[in-house]
Structures are given as C-alpha cells and as structure tokens.
Chains A and B, each alone.
Chain A
Amino acid sequence: MSTETLQATAAPAGAPPHPAREFWTYFSANRGAVAGLVVIGLVLFCALFAPLIAPHDPNLTNNTVFLKPPFWQEGGSLSYPLGTDAIGRDILSRLLYGARLSLVIGIAVVALAIVVGIVLGLVAGFFKGIADIAIMRLMDILMTMPSLLLAIVIVAILGPGLMNAMLAVAIVVLPHYVRITRAAVIAESSKDYVVAAQVSGARTGRLMFSEILPNCAAPLIVQATLGVSTAILDAAALGFLGLGAQPPTPEWGTMLADAREFVLRAWWVVTFPGLAILITVLAFNLLGDGLRDALDPKLKR
C-alpha cells in the first residue's frame, strides 16, 4: 500500500515522468557527475569573468618580481597568490585567462568534429554501399595512426598555432563521431517509425535529420562531453610540444612548456597549470560518465 502511494506521488495520474525529470533523477544520484558539473560551472565562471577576477594583466611582465613563490611560502605575497613565472607574470591571472582558451578549444573542437561526424555518419549509415565503405575505410586509417602523431603530422603540414592545433585535434577525434552516428543510424533505420515515415512520403533529408538523428542523440551527447576532455588534453599536449598555441598566449599546455626549464628552481610554475588541466579534464570525464549512466536505458531499472 505504502509503495503504491509513493509511486503515485512520483508519477501522477499514471503518466510516465517527464524525460528531463527522469534524467535528472538518475543523473543527480551520481555524486561524481554532479561534482564534475559543479567544477565545470566554476571553470566557466572563471573563463567568463577572467578580466574581473584576475588580479593582473596575464601578459604583463614585471622583472622586479620574477619567480616569486605562492603566498603561503616564504617570500610570497598575496598580490601574487600563486606566484609569478620567470618573467614576472602573475600565474593566477594567466590560469584564469587560460580557462577561456581551454573551454573554447574543447567546445570548438567537439562542435566541428560532431557536425562533420554526423553528416558523414548519416551518409555512411543511410546510403550504405560505396559511400559507406569509402567513409569507414578512411576513418579506419585515421584511427590506425596514434592520435597525437596524426595531430603532429597535420600541424607540421599546416604550421604551428592554436587554430591549426584545434583543426588537427578535430580531425583526430572525428572517427568516433562518424562511427557512433553510423551505428545508431543502422540500428534505427530498420525500426517501424522510420518505415512509417518513409511510407508516408518523407524525403531522404527529412528522414535523416528529423526522424533518425534525434534518436541517435544520447550516445552523441555522451561522446561529445568526453570529447571535450580529450580535446583539451590533446591541445595542451600540442601546446606543450610547441606546436599548439604560441607564447605568450596563456594556454595551459604552452605555459607548462615555458615552465619546463624552471622545474628545478620553482615548483609552482610547473604545478599549477598542470593541475588546472587535470581538474578540468577530470570534471568533463566525470560528467560524461554520469551522462552515459543516466542516458543509457540498459542501466535503468
């Protein structure tokens, strides 16, 4: 009796719960995912309001205060809370501005990869035949190459720089989106609702984008979230190798490359940029895992 009342309050009038509410119930039960979401919110806040919170200009050099330790160490001061780098730039300010770059990199790379990936995946899965074979073979080749090596080769062709690095990473992650879309399209297109739409005269474009695509969204959303973390990590790696964003851009990987030679003298110039990368990437991975669990119908009871 009591369980029945509980169910009645949760889902009034026998209607199934709204998809968004159902999703939130599963999602919010996952503490890691919620923590990831909170951290991403914080990073986003830092990125949006960097000019307001940052105590200094990120590119302002001050040769009177180079390699100053963080405030809790002897010789540190609160005006440079996380210390300064080798040419006296404030590390905290550079990290805050770096958050802008990392989020833009992550989102732009995934946006590019997902748009191209969806189109190629839809074409491959929907038309099959030659188009399918050609696209999927090409994706296999891209996947055979070690990801960073492929990105390095692309950057070597295009020349180093943030835009080229982003393009390179987008090409490297493309196969995942193509494969997911294609698999979902193949699974969906034999279902009754697609046949019904086809019979009622829907054109190919409509069939592809309005009927099939929305039903492939769940795995794509999960992959996109996890893809943001891969993109941030790969772009930082390229920056670290001197092939991504160029100094004095406050990109986290590039900052680490600058800091490398001071590893023996000043631990803080090396520690904080890497910590920023780790925390951001971890947050996106936690969120992605949580989304997968919440959106995957197989795991629901």
Chain B
Amino acid sequence: MLRFILTRVSLVIPTFIGITLLAFFLVRLVPGDPIETMAGERGIDPARHAQLLKEYGLDQPLFVQYGRYIERVVQGDLGKSIVTRDSVLSEFGQLFPATIELALCAILLALLVGLPAGIIAAVKRNSIFDHGVMGISLTGYSMPIFWWGLLLILLFSVQLGITPVSGRIAVQYFIEPVTGFLTIDSLLAGDTDAFWSALSHLVLPAIVLGTVPLAVIARMTRSAMLEVLGEDYIRTARAKGMAPLRVVALHALRNALIPVVTVIGLQVGTLFTGAILTETIFSWPGVGKWLIEAISRRDYPVLQGGTLLLGMVVMSVNLLVDLLYGVINPRIRHAR
C-alpha cells in the first residue's frame, strides 16, 4: 500500500512542473513584456522600462527567472492583480468557496439523479424508461451549457418569475463568512430568509453545471450495471432465489460503482470548465468569472496565478481519486 501511494504521489511532480511551466510561459509568451503589459496603453519611458526590468529580474536568463518564480510560488507568493493591487492568492481564497459551493451542489444533483436513473435503466433494459434515459442523457451530454443556462433563465426567471437571474444572494442580506458557503453560513447565522435567498440563487446554476456530469454518470452507471448484471455470480444469486432488489442493491451495485467512482473523479475538470461558463452566465462571484474578467482586463498575474491554482486543485483531486480507487479496489493497488 505504501509503495502504491509513493508511486502515485511521485507521478504528480512532473505534472506540477508542467503546470508551473505553463503558467510561467503564459505571461512570457504574451506579445510585449510584462512591464509593457502593466504600463498598458499609456506606454512607458525607456529608461524607466529598463530600470523596472532589472527590478523585477526580467533581464535575467529564462531559467533563472523560472527558478525565482518557483521559489515565490512555493512560498505562496503568486503576485498582485494589476487591477485591484490585491494578492492573487487572497483573491482566489475569497472567491473559491463560491465555486466549490456551486460545484458541490452540481455534482450532488448529478449523483442523486444520475445514479438511480442509470441503475433503473440497466435493470429495465430496452424499456421505454431505458430509451428515455439514454436519449435524455445523450442530449445533456451534447448540451451547450451556456445556452442551457440562458434558456433556464428565460423559463424560470423571466416567464415564471420563480428564481433570480443572477448573483449569489439578494443584496439586502449580509452574512458573515464562516465556511464561505452562503447556504451554510446563513443557517449558522440563523437567518432563514437569507438561506432561502441563497438557495434560490443556487438552483439554476447548479442545474446548469450539473447537466453534463449527470449525463455522464447516468450513462456510465447504466453500462457498468449492464456488465455486472451479466456476470455469473449474479445469475447464481438469482438462481438461489434471492430477491431481485437485493441482487441489484447488494451484489451488482457494489461492483458497478467502481468505474463510476473514477468517472466522478474525472468530472472535476469538467466541473471547473463548466463553472467558467456557468459563473459568466449567472454572474456568480467565483473563480471562473474572475478568470474571464482577468482576460478582458489583461490582468496577467491573475490569469497566471488562477491557472496555476486551478490546475493544482484538479491535480490534487485526481491524485486523491487515484488513491481512493486503490483503497476500494485491491486489484489496482497490487497491479504494477
């Protein structure tokens, strides 16, 4: 087990170096140097330019600059936003809980609907329900979610007036951040009105963000279940006269869930990708919207730091899923 963990963890190092290289060169490859970028359209006096280049160490060879960059990253210094002058790391820290709250609700929704739908579709293979689930999930998988969000706003916010159009909570509420999750914080503060406001703001974005993972989970669960249901031990269990529900719930599901867990882990990347679009549509104050705004403002330190941090989050979750997978499935742990 220890060897398994060490191998997996050591595989992360080249990925980490790769992500830092990507973030490092991101700023270097942009036409013009960082000083010119910071100066913006006003331009800069050549003498001052040379002085600043020296000050920031930008006249050094690239590998020296990269070494310094890594040194700063390891110390947690990701630079300052050009626009707000705030530290990139603290801005990320403030916005990230909003993204996590949204992503968690989305994946929860995807699991609550996707797992049962996939299981029932597999058990009732070729029924109308099965065809329905497969058709809907393929549609969900093909959905341009930025359009899906607009459609839901059109229906629920404009036509029916049930949900708010954008934001995280109605402006009149101020909730002291404890966990950073507004739904939980408002409950902790004992303010139920604020809780309902936060929840109603969360529903549509969570549906939009959960759509693709839901489709993937339903399809994956169905095919994994079908495979397991064809196994000999299931036939044996049925031949023994075991109740059908018990066969499915106890014997089949447990093995069918193994590939599903991997797929859920792989959805983390999809979730962040979707979060960028979802947050833009719903003006959700998370890191996705922050990054898109950084591009239009040419705020390269934010883009650089944000990319690095998100890349590291995804990398860590993937590592965690890999390790978890080894715990659930001994065959992986011992395979070389």
Contact = CB atoms under 8 A, between A and B. Distances in A.
Interface string B142-161: 11101110110110001000
Interface in B160-175: none
A137 B18 contact: yes
Interface stretch (B60-68, B253-261, B307-315): B307-315
B154 to A, nearest CB: 6
Contacts of A149: 272-273, 276, 291, 307, 310-311
Contact of B150 (A32, A147, A274): A274
B14 interface: yes
B252 interface: no
B144 A278 contact: yes
B113 interface: no
A159 to B, nearest CB: 8
Given A146-B273, A278-B147, A241 B29 contact: no
B310 A146 contact: yes
Nearest to B212: A233
A285 B154 contact: no
Contacts of A229: 142
A156 B19 contact: no
Interface size class of B (residues with CB under 8 A): 35 or more
B327 interface: no
A153 B68 CA distance: 22
A274 B144 contact: yes
B36 to A, nearest CB: 15
Given A156-B30, A256-B147, A274-B151, A241 B280 contact: yes
A236 B145 CA distance: 11
Contacts of A233: 142, 144
Nearest to B307: A153
Contacts of B144: 233, 236-237, 240, 253, 256, 274, 277-278, 281
Listed residue (B14, B273, B277) with the most chain A CB atoms within 10 angstroms of its CB: B273
B269 A147 contact: yes
Interface string A262-301: 0110010011011001100110011001000000000000
Contacts of B314: 144-146
B39 interface: no
Listed residue (B143, B146, B303) with the most chain A CB atoms within 10 angstroms of its CB: B146
A114 B321 CA distance: 29
A241 B26 CA distance: 19
B270 interface: yes
Interface size class of A (residues with CB under 8 A): 35 or more
A285 B141 CA distance: 9
A138 interface: yes
A242 interface: yes
A206 interface: no
B237 interface: no
B273 A148 contact: yes
B94 interface: no
Contact of A243 (B14, B142, B148, B295): B295
B269 A146 contact: yes
B127 interface: no
B296 interface: yes
28 contacts: A137-B15, A140-B14, A141-B14, A144-B315, A146-B314, A147-B269, A147-B273, A148-B276, A148-B277, A152-B276, A153-B303, A156-B295, A157-B30, A237-B277, A240-B146, A240-B277, A256-B146, A260-B281, A263-B150, A263-B158, A270-B150, A270-B151, A271-B154, A274-B148, A274-B150, A274-B151, A278-B143, A282-B138
Interface of A: 32, 137-138, 140-141, 143-149, 152-153, 156-157, 159, 229, 233, 236-237, 240-243, 253, 256, 260, 263-264, 267, 270-271, 273-274, 277-278, 281-282, 285-286, 289
Q: Across chains A and B, which 4 residue pairs bring their CB atoms closest together, nearest first?
A: A274-B147, A141-B18, A148-B273, A146-B272
Given A237-B277, A253-B146, 5 more contacts: A147-B270, A149-B272, A149-B291, A236-B146, A260-B150
